[in-house]
Amino acid sequence: MFQRATVKKNERALLLRNGSFERVLHSGTYWLFAGTDQLRVETFALEQPALTHGLAEYLMAQEPAVVAAEFVQVNLSETEVGLRSENGVLVEILPPGTRRLYWKGLVEVSVQVVDLQAGAELPAALVARLTQTQLRQRSVTGLTGVLQVQVPEGQCALLTVDGKVERLLTTGTYAFWKYGRTVAVELVDLRLQAVEVSGQDIMTRDKVSLRLNLCATYRYTDVLRAFAQLQKPADHLYRELQFALRAAVGTRTLDELLENKTVIDEVVTTHMTAKLQPYGMQLESVGVKDIVLPGEMKTILTQVVQAQKQAEANVIRRREETAATRSLLNTAKVMEDNPVALRMKELETLERVAERIDKISVFGGLDQVLNGLVKMR
């Protein structure tokens, strides 16, 4: 006829008679009269304050006095978000439409209600709390409904809500509610950026196919205007560089390009300056990295260069031969009028001949060597 039930100090219990709620049991020992009824006592640890039981909806609807005495009730509308704290520490973000009960007693539960219609951006104080909670051992649950953004130095962020550009975010930390709206943030680098246009096969005016690689640097001057008019400004810049490169190469011959290699840079710079200015972008520098010729054209140019160099070498050789001949003629004229100079030339020749002879036998004295050994005819 009687049943004994014990509830610990850190517990609460629901007494069910024949499956229906009867009352809440606090800590202690109870003798419960059952009679012919079926009694069941379900205990809950207060360390986990949330009431996860099928009777939660019944209690909120039919037992307001019990709910007010034993629970902290959360009843959010479709335009409200709850910030649940335990003992003053934020632990959970409750989505719109949440209906829950939390036990009173061991853990002090408080819920702050935030109106989503007030705006998508979270207050700075709440953003700071969310940032601090990431360093704790116990993280905040329910962050899937919050978009957190960190904008580093040298960059900005383009905030879009429901497909409409709202504003530009400067360096700092931000957070936005994602409930009931589509929030997107795109980081934009304000520093000098580089883009390469590689492997462009272009035909010159004289029908020579060239492969060019071009490198350019640019920066944003007005981010809002750039993204308001262009879906992807970087892709637009790349396409315009392709068009400018084709305009610079396709209207000139190969010889013109090889003679003045900076003409491509000048034409591309002029073209891009006019094209980018209305879109809030600025080209800082541009340059052709390399020009690749086809194999047969390389052979032809090599032969041309070789022929030019051989012709230059022949001209230099003939000029030197002419100078040498003129020098010999001048020397001969000097020797014709000066016998002493002629004799000195003979002795110089004799010295060179003697350097290649291992042994010399002299007969008739030194005068015979000087006068008889070498004769000029």
Tens-place pLDDT, residues 92-149: 999 999 999 999 988 999 999 999 998 889 988 888 888 776 666 667 888 889 999 9
Please give the pLDDT value at position 377: 40
Which CATH number is associated with domain 193-293?
3.30.479.30
Name the CA radius of gyration of the chain, rounded. Answer: 49
Please give the pLDDT value at position 376: 42
pTM: 0.67
Strand order in the sheet with 183-189: 164-169, 155-161, 183-189
Please give the pLDDT value at position 82: 94
Distance CA 225, CA 229 (A): 6
User: Could you state, in order of their start, the residue ranges of all structural domains in the chain?
Assistant: 1-45, 51-115, 119-191, 193-293, 309-372
Distance CA 13, CA 27 (A): 8
Give the H or E element holding residue 119.
none
Q: What angle do CA 188, 279, 147 make, to 5 degrees?
A: 30
Number of C-beta neighbours around residue 59 at 10 A: 20
One digit per residue, the tens of pLDDT, for the chain of length 377 reads: 788 989 999 999 999 999 899 999 999 999 988 888 899 999 999 999 999 888 999 999 999 999 999 999 999 999 999 999 998 888 999 999 999 999 998 899 999 999 999 888 998 888 888 877 666 666 788 888 999 999 999 999 999 998 888 889 999 999 999 998 899 999 999 999 999 998 888 888 878 778 888 999 999 999 999 988 888 999 999 999 999 998 888 888 877 877 777 888 888 998 898 889 889 999 999 988 887 776 566 565 666 667 777 777 778 888 888 887 887 777 777 777 777 776 777 677 777 776 676 666 655 555 555 555 544 44
